[in-house]
Amino acid sequence: MYAGMIKLLPSILPDQLANMDNTHEWCAPGIEPQIDSLKGIPSETLPWWMEKLGRFENIYIPRVADLPPDTSAEKEILEPQDIKSLIVLPMVYEGSLVGYLGFDSVRTERAFPEDIITLLRIMGEIFANALERKKMENELKAKNAEMERFVYTISHDLRSPLITISGFAGMLKRDIEKSKREDIETDLEQIKDGIEKMDHLLRDTLELSRIGRITNPPEDVSFKEIVKDALDQISGEISSNEKNIEIIVEDSISKSKKEKIVHVDRERIVEVLTNLIGNGIRYMGDQDHPRIEIGYKSDENVFFVRDNGIGILSDQHEKVFQLFYKIDKESEGSGAGLSIVKRIVGVHGGRIWIESDGKEGAGSTFCFTLPEKPEEGVKNEE
């Protein structure tokens, strides 16, 4: 009796296969399926298995009982399924391991001839190419959907200030004819406000188009210096805010004996911080003692910007990074800020996420990772 399975190893980070999932399975009549029990297996728990797959080697085990002592973890998974023999072949796409194709014999031992192994290897390559093509198709669909939202939002958001400008231009003409000086000044202010909104939206659009194409050469820079640059840039918004917001730079950055050095486009990461700090200011809510903290978790190698504002509900954690998404539809701004932040962090090979339960006063914490200064003697590839 045989059970054929296709198992994939989805990666969470580039070049890092974190967990193994049995995603597809075929079993002969009388063989109990195992697909539901073989999910989320940490790759690190099967070192022998992963080492061979990492070298793109076939795993051929004629007798599971004969596995060496250093494969005890693998035995703990195979033996409860009553697997006697198996063949596992790596699925490789463009030089990277994306999964594996496995066939096992249950209850009775079986040999797999070389021609069958060759055929299965070809099948694995076909599966790998098909799955990667499907993945790229899904990514293309997502990009197209994002472009549709982009065009709709741009046309909608540009129309609003244009209507304002057009309306007050007509009123300005009438007020000039009637020599109403005060009304003329009001008309001009409204027209100016509409122009500024259009300019802000167009600048955000241009900024989004530049990310990933035009960057400054990465440099080794102290994160403390990046924080200083960001606070200098946003000092006007902080000081002019009526809420008297306290900015706290934690000791992990300001007083650390060993400064945290990152290898980044300095200007871009300053932009990340100014966006996150500005976001905290705008969504502070009615706090008696509003504050924004900037810090670093050394045990997790994670930077963060934390506020005690209105918080963000868990179902909004991913949405806020979408292009032009705004929690408060009536708030000022284009809604592009956090999308820009995510793209900048992503271009640097990092990731960003939110920790918040959405409770008033509990606030939100934006956590993100950045590349560290390369070790001496190690060539950094840009």
Domain edges within the chain: 2-112, 218-382
- Kindly state the average pLDDT of the residues 106-124: 85
For range 196-205, the mean pLDDT: 76
pLDDT at 70: 84
Q: What mean pLDDT is predicted for residues 45-49?
A: 85
What pLDDT does 361 receive?
64
pLDDT 10s digits, 133-179: 888 998 888 878 777 776 766 676 677 778 888 888 888 888 898 88
pLDDT of residue 334: 65
Tens digits of per-residue pLDDT, 353-373? 999 877 766 789 999 999 887
What's the whole-model pTM score? 0.57
Q: Tell me what pLDDT residue 245 has.
A: 86
Give the residue, 67 or 214, on which the prediction is more confident. 67
Mean pLDDT across 35-52: 81
Ranking 9-23, 124-138, 332-346 by mean pLDDT, the lowest is 9-23
The residues pairing with 3 across neighbouring beta strands, listed in sequence order, are 27, 104
CATH topology (fold) of 2-112: Beta-Lactamase (3.30.450)
Nearest C-alpha neighbor of 31 from the set 76, 1, 64: 1
Per-residue model confidence (pLDDT) at position 374: 66
d(CA 307, CA 283): 9
pLDDT tens readout for residues 294-314: 999 887 789 999 998 888 888
Q: Quote the mean pLDDT of the chain.
A: 81
Dump the DSSP string for 58-126.
Answer: -EEES-GGG--GGGHHHHHHHGGGTEEEEEEEEEEETTEEEEEEEEEEESS-----HHHHHHHHHHHHH
Mean pLDDT lowest among 30-39, 42-51, 70-79: 30-39
At residue 331, the pLDDT reads 64
Distance CA 115, CA 110 (A): 15
Beta bridge partners, 85, equal 105
Residue 145, C-beta contacts closer than 8 angstroms, at least 6 positions apart: none
Q: What integer pLDDT is reported at residue 47 of this predicted model?
A: 86
More confident residue, 33 or 118: 118
Question: With bands split at pLDDT 50, 70 and 90, how would you rate the model's confidence at 59?
Answer: confident
pLDDT (average), residues 116-123: 86
Q: Which 8-state DSSP code applies to residue 283? A: T
Residue bearing the bigger pLDDT, 379 or 90: 90
CATH code for the domain defined by 218-382: 3.30.565.10
pLDDT of residue 16: 46
The type of residue at 177 is E
